[in-house]
C-alpha cells in the first residue's frame, strides 16, 4: 500500500492547525493496518486471471437483424477470464432476447484473452460486415481491435477499466474508478468535509485512484493532508468495496463508497438465473447494456446510429446499472449511488441521479 498522498501538498504551517481540525470526520480513500489487510486481498482489476486456457471457440452469429455488431470476448481465456466471458456472452444474448424486435445481429468472437486473438477476431467481425465492435474485455487487447476498427471508421465500445486505452473511436463501457472517486468526494464535500487524506494500493489501480482523487479534491476546493487518525475520520472507498469481504470487516463498518444502485443488478440477476440457471458475474451487465444500447440506436438513429456524435450524446443512456454517458475522450461517466458498509451488506445512503446535470 502507498502511504498518504504526497505530503508536500499539506497546507502551510499558518493554516495547518485548521486543516488538522477539519480532519475530524474527514474522508479517507483506502485505509491502513487491519483495513489494509482487508483491501490487500483485492487483485488488480486491470489484469486477467492465470491458469490453463481453454480450447478456442468458433464464432457464432446470434439474431437475424439487418445491422451486424461484433462482440469480442475472451471465451477461451484462462481461469476466471473464460468464466466471466461466458457469463457476459449469456447476458448479451439475454439483452437481444429481451429487446423488442431488435434489428441487429451479434457476431460473437473468441479472442482467447490475447492481443493477437483480439486482432484476428476483430478482422473476422469486420470482414463479416460489423458496423460497431463491442469488446474486448482486457486493456492489453483493446489496441489491436482499435487499430483495425479505425481503418474502417468503426467505433469500439470496450469493457476495460483502464482509461489509458480510451479515445480515438474507443469508448469504455465499464466501471471506471474515476467515476467512483468523483461521486464519493462530491458527496463528502456536500456534507461539509474539506480535508482529505488517502492511502491507495501500490499498483495500476492505485495510480488511477490517486490521480482522480487529487483532481476531485481540487475541484471541490478541498485540501489533501499528509496523515489522519483512523478513529477520527469517515472512511471512503470505491466500488471495489461492494464485496462480502468488506462487509465482514469490523474495521470498515460505516465506510461509504460509490457504486451503482444495487436494485438494477438484483433484478437483472433474477432474470439471468431464470434463463441460465446460474449466477451472472458482476460485469455481465456491461454486455447487456452494450447490446441494448446498440439495438436502441439502430432503431432510432438512422445512418448516424453508431457515429461518435450519437455515442457521446450528453444526455446519456439508461442501463441496468443506472445512467451512463460516454465522454469525447472515450471514458464514461456514471450516475452512481452512495452506499454504506454494514455487516448485512451495502446500504443505500444517497440514490443515483435521474439525469446528468449541465
**Best CA proximity match to 114, nearest among 160, 78, 80, 162:** 78
CB 339 within 8 A of CB 242: yes
Sign of CA dihedral 259, 260, 266, 269: negative
C-alpha span between 245 and 40 (Å, rounded): 11
Asked if residue 39 belongs to a domain, the reply is no
The Cβ of residue 58 has, within 10 Å, a number of other Cβ atoms equal to: 9
Angle, alpha carbons 347-353-356 (nearest 5°): 155
**Residues 166, 314 share a domain:** yes
**Number of structural domains found in the chain:** 2
**Residues 255, 130 share a domain:** no
pTM above the 0.75 mark? yes
Asked if residue 267 belongs to a domain, the reply is no
Asked if residue 272 belongs to a domain, the reply is no
**Residues 166, 71 share a domain:** yes
**Residues 218, 240 share a domain:** yes
**Residues 132, 102 share a domain:** yes
CB 28 within 8 A of CB 235: yes
**Residues 96, 139 share a domain:** yes
Angle, alpha carbons 206-208-210 (nearest 5°): 65
**Residues 68, 96 share a domain:** yes
Burial class (CB in 10 A: 0-12, 13-18, 19+), 230: middle
pLDDT digits (tens, 9 = 90+) for 115-129: 999 999 999 999 999
**Residues 186, 97 share a domain:** no
Sign of CA dihedral 139, 210, 202, 191: negative
Give 116's contacts (C-beta < 8 A, 6+ positions apart): 144
Amino acid 29: pLDDT: 57
pLDDT digits (tens, 9 = 90+) for 59-75: 999 999 999 999 999 99
CB 170 within 8 A of CB 142: yes
Asked if residue 35 belongs to a domain, the reply is no
**Residues 227, 201 share a domain:** yes
**Torsion angle, alpha carbons of 210, 213, 215, 220, to 10:** -160
pLDDT digits (tens, 9 = 90+) for 272-309: 999 999 999 999 999 999 999 999 999 999 999 999 99
**Residues 344, 252 share a domain:** yes
> Taking 80 as the threshold, does the pLDDT of residue 14 lie above it?
no
Asked if residue 239 belongs to a domain, the reply is yes
Which of the four pLDDT bands, split at 50, 70 and 90, describes residue 268?
Answer: very high
**Residues 223, 307 share a domain:** no
**Best CA proximity match to 179, nearest among 284, 244, 257, 254:** 257
pLDDT digits (tens, 9 = 90+) for 180-210: 999 999 999 998 888 888 877 778 888 888 8
pLDDT digits (tens, 9 = 90+) for 71-96: 999 999 998 999 999 999 999 999 99
Q: Which domain holds residue 191?
A: 7-30+177-259+337-350
- Residue 343: give its domain's CATH number: 3.40.50.2300
C-alpha cell at 313: 450524446
Amino acid at each position: 500500500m502507498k502511504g498518504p498522498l504526497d505530503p508536500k501538498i499539506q497546507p502551510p504551517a499558518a493554516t495547518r492547525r485548521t486543516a488538522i481540525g477539519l480532519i475530524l470526520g474527514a474522508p479517507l480513500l483506502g485505509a491502513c493496518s487491519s483495513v489494509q489487510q482487508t483491501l490487500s486481498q483485492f487483485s488488480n482489476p486491470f489484469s486477467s486471471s492465470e491458469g490453463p486456457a481453454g480450447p478456442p471457440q468458433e464464432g457464432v452469429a446470434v439474431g437475424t437483424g439487418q445491422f451486424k455488431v461484433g462482440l469480442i470476448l475472451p471465451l477461451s481465456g484462462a481461469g476466471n477470464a473464460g468464466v466471466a466471458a461466458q457469463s457476459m456472452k449469456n447476458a448479451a444474448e439475454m439483452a437481444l432476447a429481451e429487446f423488442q424486435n431488435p434489428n441487429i445481429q451479434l457476431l460473437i468472437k473468441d479472442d482467447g484473452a490475447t492481443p493477437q486473438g483480439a486482432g484476428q477476431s476483430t478482422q473476422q467481425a469486420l470482414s463479416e460486415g460489423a458496423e460497431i465492435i463491442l469488446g474486448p474485455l482486457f486493456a492489453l487487447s483493446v489496441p489491436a481491435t482499435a487499430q483495425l476498427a479505425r481503418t474502417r471508421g468503426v467505433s469500439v465500445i470496450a469493457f476495460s477499466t483502464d482509461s489509458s486505452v480510451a479515445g480515438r473511436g474507443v469508448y469504455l463501457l465499464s466501471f471506471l474508478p474515476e467515476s467512483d472517486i468523483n461521486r464519493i468526494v462530491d458527496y463528502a464535500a456536500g456534507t461539509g468535509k474539506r480535508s482529505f487524506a488517502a492511502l491507495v494500493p501500490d499498483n495500476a489501480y492505485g495510480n488511477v485512484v490517486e490521480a482522480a482523487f487529487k483532481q476531485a479534491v481540487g475541484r471541490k476546493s478541498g485540501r489533501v493532508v499528509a496523515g489522519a487518525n483512523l478513529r477520527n475520520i469517515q472512511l471512503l472507498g470505491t466500488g471495489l468495496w461492494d464485496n462480502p469481504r468488506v462487509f465482514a470487516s469490523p474495521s470498515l463498518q460505516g465506510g461509504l463508497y460509490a457504486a451503482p444502485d444495487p436494485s438494477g443488478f438484483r433484478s437483472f440477476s433474477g432474470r439471468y438465473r431464470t434463463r441460465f440457471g446460474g449466477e451472472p458475474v458482476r460485469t455481465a451487465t456491461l454486455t447487456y447494456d452494450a447490446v441494448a444500447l446498440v439495438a436502441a440506436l439502430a432503431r432510432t438513429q438512422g445512418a448516424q446510429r453508431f457515429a461518435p456524435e450519437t455515442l457521446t450524446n450528453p444526455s446519456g443512456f439508461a442501463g441496468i446499472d443506472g445512467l451512463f454517458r460516454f465522454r469525447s475522450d472515450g471514458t464514461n461517466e456514471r450516475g452512481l449511488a452512495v452506499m454504506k458498509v454494514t455487516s448485512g451488506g451495502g446500504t443505500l445512503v444517497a440514490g443515483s441521479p435521474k439525469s446528468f446535470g449541465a
